[in-house]
Amino acid sequence: MSPLRDFLQRSPAHARVAPFFIFVLLTAGQGLLGPDVKYWVYLLKTLVGVWLIWEMRSLVPEMRWAVSWEALVVGVLVCVLWVGLDPYYPKIDIHSEPAPGDEWNPVARYGAGSAMAWFFIVVRIAGSSVVVPPLEEVFYRSFLYRRLINDDFLQVPIGRLAVGAFVACSALFGLMHTQWLPGILCGMLYLGLVIRKKRLGDAMTAHAITNFLLGLWVVWNDAWHFW
């Protein structure tokens, strides 16, 4: 048994919180080593994320993908809100502002049409669409939301509605993003989906659809600021 799995098995909270925070720490550090290294750190972070999901899979039974028409609608709607609202509200940035030319843009760094640029574009879209949704949904919509309702969060059924926790969890999720306004709405829609379907998997799918479509939008429109 790996040390990580041993740690995750110590409590239901460990299994839902530790993988998310490991991933967040890697995210926070990916820009610290220079403009070139951050692309490779993102690749490393994505691979670590796959490993984290693998280790927690049997310890978090609600982390199961589910497909529904509601998940499709919410996933597309959140992407539309994320892009459509962008010009109309002030942004916040919990991270340091990137220097000019240092934003995430593999096309500018490696050249349009280059193999390296497309490699890192694919890595980014794959990571945000497959790895991010399980880790974030488990932490925010399974652990944090229920923990705000009851210290013994496992006693709170998936799908229970508690208005105060709903607002607080969605606000915190949104404020962790530079695009805070659609982030808050996004948090409400994903959590509403969990409450409606009484399972986590539809929110994971909606989250994946949003991130995939947003990735396509970023590349197609050179809208690199979303990344």
Q: What is the amino acid identity at position 206?
A: A
Distance CA 14, CA 60 (A): 10
Whether residue 85 is contained in a domain is answered as yes
Give the structural domain span for 213.
65-226
Tens-place pLDDT, residues 80-108:
999 999 999 998 875 544 554 557 899 99
Q: Which helix (H) or strand (E) holds 27?
A: helix 12-29
Tens-place pLDDT, residues 145-185:
999 999 999 999 999 999 999 999 999 999 999 999 999 99
User: Exposure pattern of 64-75 as b/e (b: 16+ CB <10 Å)?
Assistant: eebebebbeebb
Please count the structural domains in the chain: 1
Whether residue 59 is contained in a domain is answered as no
Whether residue 54 is contained in a domain is answered as no
Q: What is the amino acid identity at position 42?
A: Y
Tens-place pLDDT, residues 12-50:
999 999 999 999 999 888 767 777 788 999 999 999 999
Answering whether pTM is above 0.85, one says yes
Nearest to 122 by CA among 52, 43, 59, 62: 43
